[in-house]
Amino acid sequence: MKRTKIIYWIFTGLFGVFMLFTAMPSEEGTALITGPLGYPDYFVSFIAIAKVLGVIGILIPGFPRVREWAYAGLFFDIISATYSFYAVNMIGAGSLFMLVPFGLGIGSYIYHHKLLRETAALKA
């Protein structure tokens, strides 16, 4: 159980840091979102707030339903971002970097459920 908990927190911590890092886009990032991708200016602050709330949701213990919704929202963000780049033909060799948040998020989610199963088994 200790090993599972350590792996879970490594994946979750890195996933949370990555999502927080992308929640605060630079001027370049904002120009990319509103320029070639065509999103309105207000979308940048909306998605930033949503990402911060999502990270809080996966880090705060004791609210399993909130955590599930937070994972869903963060994955929706990653999938939407990937599709947005694909839709405007901006997918290239550098786009393999987009696999990093997918891997971290999937690892966090899998180990979260593995930790829940192990905890339930100990209580039984």
Pick from 44, 58, 63, 62: which is nearest to 101 by CA?
A: 58
94 falls in which pLDDT band (50, 70, 90)?
low
- pLDDT tens digits, one per residue of 8-40: 999 999 999 999 988 887 777 788 788 888 888
- pLDDT tens digits, one per residue of 33-92: 888 888 888 888 899 999 999 999 999 988 989 999 999 999 999 998 888 888 888 777
Is the pLDDT confidence value at 105 over 70? yes
pTM of the predicted structure, to 2 decimals: 0.87
Crossing angle for the helix pair 27-34 and 41-59, to the nearest 10 degrees: 110
Rounded Cα distance between 87 and 81, Å, is 10
82: left (phi over 0), alpha (psi -120 to 50) or beta: alpha
